[in-house]
């Protein structure tokens, strides 16, 4: 799916994040499985990641991120019409994390649901919320992306364990005078789904349903490098922009080798790329909002900055959002 936003302009008016306090270093992982700081750093760029406490679930990560985003936007939770939580690690299948979050905020007027699109979930959720707000179905929407992947990892499997971390981000979407989202490109290929999957987590019966993440790293690497480039090029062409116009590039934070490949292939100067995978690992749907927040804190997101975000992950799925950044307080 690809399209330009051709309705009322919609933008991000508030941004918040939350990452659990516990920092897990590569050296600590090397005490658990046969790996080393050197191997992890060289192959992935990751130095440390955050790990949720045993009692923390997705709602506990989403709530502080949502409150921060709402405060930045100057929006009361009671004003929200819509909550979408993009996650593959909901507290439970139902009630959804969106519903639970709506109760905790509280946001009694809001429609609330979860969205499952792997690490691309945040970009998919942005597209849905943007369309609903632009069309007038909702005025104020909250999009949360995040995961507690540490709860579904195989802590004996070095090939997946070292890559992932826990974290969440949230954004408020509202109509603005101009700027905001220019368009989206979203895709899915279930044929490659078995390269990154969670067998036994649903209604399909498996012989060994241990409900832990399984991945073919080499296949996912090939897929990721391909779609990061093709999706970005597609949305730029669709919106009549070029790579030279992009001020801030926020790729899914999976691995610095994947990001470096895409950056070179796309021809984006390194100083326009946001990278924080070294501190968080791959936080799935939390990755893009966590990176956006870092870029904002560093003063890299200015009024009118052209921001390109591209996610990819389980499904297999991918998606890009292109937007002109808007400062807060410009909502209509």
Ligand X SMILES: CC(C)(COP(=O)(O)OP(=O)(O)OC[C@H]1O[C@@H](n2cnc3c(N)ncnc32)[C@H](O)[C@@H]1OP(=O)(O)O)[C@@H](O)C(=O)NCCC(=O)NCCS
Is the Cβ of residue 176 or residue 292 nearer to ligand X in the bound state? Answer: 292
Active-site residue, from 26, 255, 276, 282: 282
Count the residues in the chain.
332
Q: Which backbone phi and psi does 124 adopt, to 5 degrees?
A: -60, -45
* 290-to-150, 220, 238, 323 alpha-carbon distances in Å: 17, 22, 27, 17
Any contact of residue 78 with ligand X (CB under 6 A)? no
Q: Which of 92, 94, 159, 177 binds ligand X (CB under 6 A)?
A: 159
Element (H, E) at 142: strand 141-148
Residue pair 237/330 in contact by the 8 Å Cβ criterion: no
Asked whether position 27 contacts ligand X by CB under 6 A, the answer is: no
Extract the tokens encoding 247: 């001020």
Q: At its nearest, how many Å lie between ligand X and the CB of residue 274?
A: 17
Q: Which of 5, 35, 225, 320 binds ligand X (CB under 6 A)?
A: 35
Least Cβ distance, residue 257 to ligand X (angstroms): 6
Selected from 313, 322, 324, 325, the binder of ligand X by CB under 6 A is 313
Catalytic, out of 26, 252, 255, 276: 252
Start-to-end C-alpha separation, the chain: 29
119 included as an active-site residue:
yes
Q: Residue written as tokens 């945040």?
A: 122
Is 255 annotated in the active site? no
Report CA-CA distances (Å) from 209 to 84, 153, 203: 29, 13, 11
Q: Could you tell me which of 247, 224, 77 has the C-alpha nearest to residue 163?
A: 224
Minimum Å distance from CB 315 to ligand X? 10
Burial 223-261 (b: 16+ CB within 10 A, else e): bbbebbbbbbbbbbebbebeeeebbbbbbbbbbbebbbb
> In the annotation, is 156 catalytic?
no
Q: Does 217 bind ligand X (CB under 6 A)?
A: yes
- CA atoms of 293 and 325, how far apart (whole Å): 13
Question: Where does this chain touch ligand X (CB under 6 A) — which range of 33-41, 58-66, 121-129, 295-303?
Answer: 33-41
Among 81, 221, 247, 330, binds ligand X (CB under 6 A): 221
SS3 271: helix
Binding mask 252-271 for ligand X (x = CB under 6 A): --xx----------------
CB of 74 to ligand X, least distance (A): 34
The residue ranges that bind ligand X (CB under 6 A) are 35, 39-40, 43-44, 119, 158-159, 162-163, 215, 217-218, 220-221, 224, 254-255, 282, 313
């Amino acid at each position: 799916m690809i399209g330009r936003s051709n309705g009322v302009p919609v933008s991000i008016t508030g941004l918040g994040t939350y990452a659990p306090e516990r920092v897990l270093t590569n050296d600590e992982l090397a005490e658990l499985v046969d790996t080393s700081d050197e191997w992890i750093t060289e192959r992935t760029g990751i130095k440390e990641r955050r790990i949720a406490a045993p009692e923390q679930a997705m709602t506990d990560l989403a709530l502080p991120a949502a409150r921060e985003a709402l405060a930045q936007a100057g929006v009361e939770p009671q004003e929200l019409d819509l909550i979408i939580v993009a996650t593959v690690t909901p507290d439970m299948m139902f009630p959804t994390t969106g519903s639970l979050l709506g109760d905790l905020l509280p946001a009694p007027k809001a429609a609330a649901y979860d969205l499952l699109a792997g690490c691309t979930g945040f970009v998919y959720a942005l597209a849905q919320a943007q369309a609903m707000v632009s069309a007038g179905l909702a005025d104020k929407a909250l999009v949360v992306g995040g995961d507690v992947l540490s709860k579904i990892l195989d802590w004996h499997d070095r090939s997946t364990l070292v890559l992932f971390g826990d974290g969440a981000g949230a954004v408020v979407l509202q109509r603005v005078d101009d700027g905001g989202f220019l368009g989206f490109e979203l895709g899915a290929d279930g044929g490659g789904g078995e390269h990154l999957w969670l067998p036994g987590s649903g209604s399909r019966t498996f012989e060994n349903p241990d409900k832990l993440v399984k991945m073919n790293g080499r296949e996912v690497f090939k897929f990721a490098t391909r779609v990061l480039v093709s999706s970005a090029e597609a949305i730029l062409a669709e919106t009549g922009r070029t790579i030279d116009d992009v001020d801030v590039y926020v790729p899914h934070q999976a691995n610095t080798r994947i990001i470096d490949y895409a950056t070179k292939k796309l021809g984006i100067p390194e100083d326009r790329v946001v990278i924080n995978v070294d501190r968080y690992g791959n936080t799935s749907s939390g990755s893009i909002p966590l990176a956006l927040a870092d870029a904002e804190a560093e003063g890299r997101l200015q009024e009118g900055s052209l921001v390109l975000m591209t996610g990819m992950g389980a499904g297999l799925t991918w998606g890009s959002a292109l937007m002109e950044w808007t400062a807060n307080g410009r909502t209509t």
